[in-house]
Amino acid sequence: MWALYSFLTITSIGYFINKIYRIFYPLKFKSFEDEYVEDEYTLLCYRIKFEDNSTMNKFELTDEEVSEIDEANKIKYITIEYMFNGKLMKYITYDKDITFPFYVFNVVESRFPYYPETVILNGVNVTDYIIPYLGPLTNFYNDRASPIKLEDALSEHPDFDSFDFNKGNLIMISNETPLNGKKCITKELPCQLIWKRHAAVDPRDEHKLQDLEFVSKED
């Protein structure tokens, strides 16, 4: 009886001490604005698209399972959805390579951030559907394998059936760059998703940045 009484007393005291401690030292949770010392990857799911246009979603997947699934029904591509440092991202693999995470090193941002802020397909704003495919290096994974096909990235768009991926233009408008403001990149269809992350400033114009820095210091 005394042992039970002692246990309850100690537990109660520990509980109240913990409550008081948390008042002065609350738990800290990460937000999208936090800086990450180590890149964080969180796998969400695999979305398998078959040649017959049917689909299958898996939360876990192995290379052996991919082979078995492909034998039963030919796989067209696999979309890997994941979180990278608090941001939703997607990757399409056509060769069934489900290696994750993709990079074994921490991603270093470019000296001048450069990425598409707006993406327009034949007059339709498709930004929200395309941006997740930019990837950690903001280059649409062009350093990995085959470029992602535009039609595959837009497969879940509600107007997909009305899109013409063979005629017209794909327009990508960048963020503000140091020398040229927003850049407008126009590609004739058909085209694939390609972005040069280091193209914010032409190497031939880098000397002009020194003048801008000098003016800024003068101001």
Q: What is this structure's pTM?
A: 0.74
16 CA to centre of own chain: 43
With CA atoms as reference, report the closest residue to 90 among 47, 60, 119, 150.
47
pLDDT at 100 over 70: yes
Q: How far apart are CA 121 and CA 150, in angstroms?
A: 10
Look at residue 34 and tell me whether its pLDDT is greater than 70.
no
Q: Give per-residue pLDDT as tens, 1-33.
A: 454 445 445 444 544 444 444 444 444 434 434
Across the chain, mean pLDDT equals 81
Q: How confident is the model at residue 203 (pLDDT cuts 50, 70, 90)?
A: low
